[in-house]
Amino acid sequence: MKKIALVLFALLSLQLSGCATTTKDSVSGVKRSQFMLLPSSSVDKMSAQAYTETLQTAKKKNTLNADAAQLERVRTISNHLIAQVGVFRPDAAQWNWEVNVEKDEQVNAYCMPGGKIMVYTGLIEKLNATDDELAAVIGHEIAHALREHGRERMSQAYVQQFGLQALSAFVTKGAAGGAIMQGAGMGSQLFFALPNGREQERESDKIGLELAARAGYNPDAAVTLWQKMGAQSKSAPPEFFSTHPASENRITELKALAPKVRPLYEAAKRTK
C-alpha cells in the first residue's frame, strides 16, 4: 500500500509540475494551462534531428529549395512573422529558426518544435496563395510551435502509454529514463501521424491570426485561405486536412476574430 501511495503521489506531483502555459496572454486571449511532462530541450533535439534528416532526403532528391525566388518569398514572409514571436514568448526570438521549401505536390506546411519550418510548393502553387494567405498558414504553424503543442501531445502520449510503469520505476529509483525515451520516441511519431486536438487548433488559429496581423498581413486572408482549401478538398482532400480539419465553424470563428486583430494590422501597415 505504501508503494502504491508513493506512485500516486508521484503521479500527482508530475501532473502539477507539468502544468503551465507556454505563451503570454495577448489580444488573442490564449492562456490555457498545458500538461508538459517531457522537457522542451529533449523534444527540440528530436525535432531538429528529424528536420535535418528531412532536409538531407530532399537534397538527395533535388527537391529542396529548388526555386530561389519562391524560397526568398517564403523566407521573407516567415521572417516578418518570426520578428513578432516575442509578443507571445520572448525566448522564441532566440530559437534557431530554419525556413525551407520542398518541391512537393502536397498542399501542406508545418513548423516543428524549436522553429523548424517547411512549406511544400503544392500549398503555394495549387492554391495560388497570396503573401497574406501564406502568412496566415505559416503563422498558424508557428503558433503550434510557440504553444509547444507537439511537446504537449508527446507528454500526453507518454503518460497514457508508460505512466504507471515509469512512475513506479521513478519512485523505486529504477530505470525510468528508458521508459521516458520510449515515450518520447512514440510522441515524436505522433507529432507527424496524428492531428492536433480541437482546442490546439483553435489556439493556433487565434495566435496565428494575431501574429500575421502584427507582421502587417491582412487577417481576412485566413478566411480566403480556408475557402481555397475547401475548394481543393472537393476532388481529393489536401494533406493539410489530415492534421488541420476545416469546417464552416472554423471559418466563422476566424471571421469573428479578424476585427479584434485588425487594429494591429493597420498599425503594422503604417510602419512598413
What distance in Å separates the CA atoms of residue 232 and residue 129, rounded to the nearest whole number?
A: 13
Query: How many other CB atoms sit within 10 Å of the CB of residue 10?
Result: 16
Q: What are the φ/ψ torsions at residue 226 (nearest 5 degrees)?
A: -70, -30
Candidates 1, 4, 19, 44; CA nearest to 159 is 19
Q: Return the axis-axis angle of helices 221-232 and 198-214, rounded to nearest 10°.
A: 130
Number of H helices, E strands in the chain: 11, 5
CA 161/CA 245 separation, integer angstroms: 26
Residue in this structure with the C-alpha cell 509547444, named with its chain if needed: 148
The set of catalytic residues is 141
In the numeric block, the cell 505512466 is attached to: 163
- Containing 147, the helix (H) or strand (E) segment is none
The enclosing H or E element of 4 equals helix 2-17
The length of the chain is: 272
**Residue closest to 153 by CA, chosen among 213, 217, 110, 197:** 197
Cβ neighbors of 219 (< 8 A, separation 6 or more) are 136, 209, 212, 213, 257, 258, 261, 262, 265
